[in-house]
C-alpha cells in the first residue's frame, strides 16, 4: 500500500537551499519527497510512498543551490520558492 507523502508536514527537509559542489559526470539523486535524512540527497526513505528521487548530473564541476523546501518549479535546483511559500 502506498502512502501519499506531504513533505510540508512530515519531512525533515529544510526550508532553505543547500549550496553544494557537484562533480562533473557524476550522477546524483535529489530527494523529492523530503523524507531523506541526508538532504538534499535521496537515502531511499521514500520507499513505500508514491514518490521517487530525481536523478541528475552536471557536465562539469559546479557549485549550485539544490532545493531544500521541495517547492521548486525547477527541480533539483532552488528557484527561490522557499522565500514566497510557507509550510501548511
Which residues bind to ligand FES, rule: CB under 6 A?
Answer: 31-33, 35-36, 42-46, 51-53
Nearest distance from residue 16's CB to ligand FES, in Å?
Answer: 17
The H-or-E segment that residue 20 falls in is strand 18-22
Nearest distance from residue 32's CB to ligand FES, in Å?
Answer: 5
* 44 versus 61: smaller Cβ distance to ligand FES: 44
The C-alpha angle 26, 20, 67, rounded to 5 degrees, equals 100
What cell numbers appear for 25 in the block? Answer: 559526470
The C-alpha angle 43, 45, 50, rounded to 5 degrees, equals 125
Nearest distance from residue 24's CB to ligand FES, in Å?
Answer: 23
Amino acid at each position: 500500500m502506498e502512502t501519499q507523502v506531504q513533505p510540508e508536514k512530515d519531512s525533515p527537509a529544510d526550508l532553505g537551499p543547500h549550496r553544494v559542489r557537484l562533480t562533473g559526470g557524476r550522477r546524483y539523486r535529489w530527494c523529492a519527497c523530503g523524507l531523506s535524512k541526508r538532504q538534499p540527497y535521496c537515502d531511499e526513505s521514500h520507499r513505500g510512498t508514491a514518490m521517487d528521487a530525481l536523478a541528475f548530473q552536471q557536465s562539469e564541476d559546479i557549485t549550485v543551490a539544490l532545493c531544500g523546501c521541495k517547492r521548486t518549479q525547477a527541480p533539483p535546483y532552488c528557484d527561490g520558492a522557499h522565500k514566497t511559500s510557507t509550510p501548511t
